[in-house]
Structure 1
Amino acid sequence: MEERKKEHIELAFKSRIEGADANRYFNYEPMLSPHHSGAPTPISFAGKRMMLPVWVSSMTGGTRSAAEINRNLARVCAEYGMGMGLGSCRILLEDRSHWKDFDVRDIIGNEVPLFANIGIAQLEKMLKDGSWERLEELVHLLRADGLIIHVNPLQEAFQPEGDIFEEAPINTLSRFVEKTRIPLIVKEVGQGMGPESLKALLQLPLEAIEFGALGGTNFTLLELRRQEDFDTKPFESFANVGHTASEMCAFVNEMLDSSIYIRTRNIIISGGISDVLEGYRLVRTCRMPALFGMGSGFLRYATGDYGKLKAFAEQLKKSLSLADAYLRLRQQPDK
C-alpha cells in the first residue's frame, strides 16, 4: 500500500484532466451498480458468437511479420470472443507460398467469426473473366465465415501500381451478391462513405458494412507520400476528404427513418476509434446492430510478447464492463 500511495503522489500532477470529451455524451452514475463480474452478453454475428462488440479488422498479409501478427490477433480474438478480418488475401490468388500468413482458423477456433479479404478491383476483374468462384474457394480453404470486399478508389488512383475501376463499385457488388452465397462485408479503407454510398450498400444483403472512416490510417495520404517523381503537397487535400465514424452513424440512423428497404444486417464502426468510450458510445448510438473496431490499438501490440496484447484486450473488456455499469448516454440536442 505504501508503494501504491507513493506512485499516486508521483503521478498526480501528470494525471490532470483539462477537458473531458466523454462527459459531453455520458452521465456518470456511480451509485447504481456493483462492479460487473459476470460474463459479457453474447453477440451474434455471421452465425457465430462473440463476447465483446469488437472487430479486429484487416491488418496485414504477405509481409515478413504478417504470420506473427495474424496468429497473435487470432489468439486474442479466440480468448476474448472478438471477430477478426484478415488483411488482403490477394497474394494467395497469385502465390500460395504465403498461405501460413493467413491460415489461423485452428488458432481462432470455430466459435468466433473470421473473414477473408479482397479488393473491389480484384473482384471486378474476376467477375469480368469469370473466375470469381476462386474467391469462394479461397474462403473455403481458409475455413473463413465470409469475405470482406474493401473499396479504395482514392488509394488506387494515387498508388503508382494502383488498379483502375472500370465500373462503379456498387455495380460490381450488386452483380457479385447475385452470384454468391457467402456472407459479405463491404468496407472503405480510411475515408468512410457519404450518405448516397451508404444508402446503396444498405439495400444489399450484406452481413455488414464496415465504415473505415476518416480519422484512422489514411491510405490516400500514405500512397501520396510514397511518390518520388513530383511534389505531392498540392494533392494532399484529397486525404482530408471523407466522413467520420460519428457522421456515418448519423447517416445510418437517418436511413432507418427513410422508406428504403434495408437488407444489411450489421454495422462495424471503424476508422479513428482510438478511445474505447468513443467506440462504446457509437455502438450504443447506432440504431442498427453494431460492433466497433480499434485496429491500430491491436496492431501496436500484435508483434512480440503476447502478454502485452492480452493485457490490452483485458483492459478493453474491463472498460466495456465499467461503461455498462456506470455510464448512461445523455440525450443529445437536435442540431
Structure 2
Amino acid sequence: MKRLLAVAAALLSTAVLAAPPAPEKTELRYQGWAGQVTYPELAEDLGYLAPVKLKWVGNTISGPQDIQTVVTGDIDFGGAFNGAVAKLIAAKAPIKSVIGYYGVDENTFHGYYVSEGSPLKTARDLIGKKVAVNTLGAHHELMLREYLSRGGLTAAEIKQVTLVVVPPSNGEQALRQGQVDATTLGGVLRDKALERGGIRPLFTDHDLFGNFTAGTYVLHTRFLKENPETARVFVTATARAIEWARATPPAEVRARFEKIIAQRKRNEDASTVKYWKSTGVAGQGGVIADAELQQWIDWLVKDGVLKAGQLRAAELYTNQFNPYLGQQPGSKVAAR
C-alpha cells in the first residue's frame, strides 16, 4: 500500500510540474466585426481559450483603427493588414504581431470591381478616376497601388487616382450609383454583389500575389512582457481555431458561426455567413512568415516613409507563442 501511495504521489507531482503556468490575465478586451465571427471568438466557443474569456467592447470597420486602439490601451488585441501594422510600428508604436488571422487564396480574396459596361480595363484607365476603399493606408489601398505600379503608372500618375473612403457594406451601392468608378469587394459582400449581376472584376489581390496571409493580430509590447502566459493561451487557442476551420467542412464552420452570432445577441445580420468559404491563412495555425511583413516594409521604403534598412520584418513579429511553429510549409507571398 505504501508503495502504491508513493507511486501515486510521484505521478501527481509529475502532473503538477507538467501543468502549464496559469495565465496572468483571464479577460481580453477586443473589438468585433458586425455579422462576422473572428477566430478568437471561435476559439472561445470551441473551448480552446479557457480559462481566459473575451470581453467585447464594440465593433470596428477598420484594421488600422483596431490596432491603434491596442496602442491606446483600450483593447488588449487587435488585427490589421500587415502593411498597416508595419506602418504603425515604423511610427514607433509599441506593438508586435503574434499570429496571422486572415489572408488570400482562390476562395477568399478581395476584388476591385467596375460596372459591367465600364470602359475601364487596365491600370492606366484608372487615371483621373475614383476608387472606393474601406480605409486609407491599409490592404485595399496598397493592393491598388501595387496594381497601378505593375501597370506602368508613374508616382505622379498614381496620385491622379482618387481614393474614396467608403464603408465596406456601402461599396457596391457607391459603384452602382456612379459615386465611384471602381470599388473593392471581398468575401460575402463580393459574392452578394456578383449574384445581383451588372459588375465585373478589374483585378483581384489573388491575381497579384497568389496565396498569402494578409493580416496579423497584434499585442502591446508591455502586454507581452507582463502577460506572457496569457499571450500564449491567446495565440495557441486562435491557432487551433484556425486549424479547426481549415479542417472542418465549410458547411459545418458556417453553422458554427451562425450559432455564435445568434447566442451573442448583438442585433446583427448573420446572413453573410453563408458565403464563408475558407480561412485564407497561408501558414499553419497562423504562423507568420518574414515575407508577409517585409513585402510592406519595402513599400514604405519605396514611398519614402522609411529609409532602406531602417526596419526589418523580424522586428515586427514573434512566433514564440505559436504551437504550430516549424510545422507549416511557409507563406506563398510572391517575391517582388
TM-score when scaled to structure 2?
0.26
Larger relative contact order (CA 8 Å, sep ≥ 6): 2
| Structure number having the greater strand percentage | 2
Structure ID, larger Rg: 2
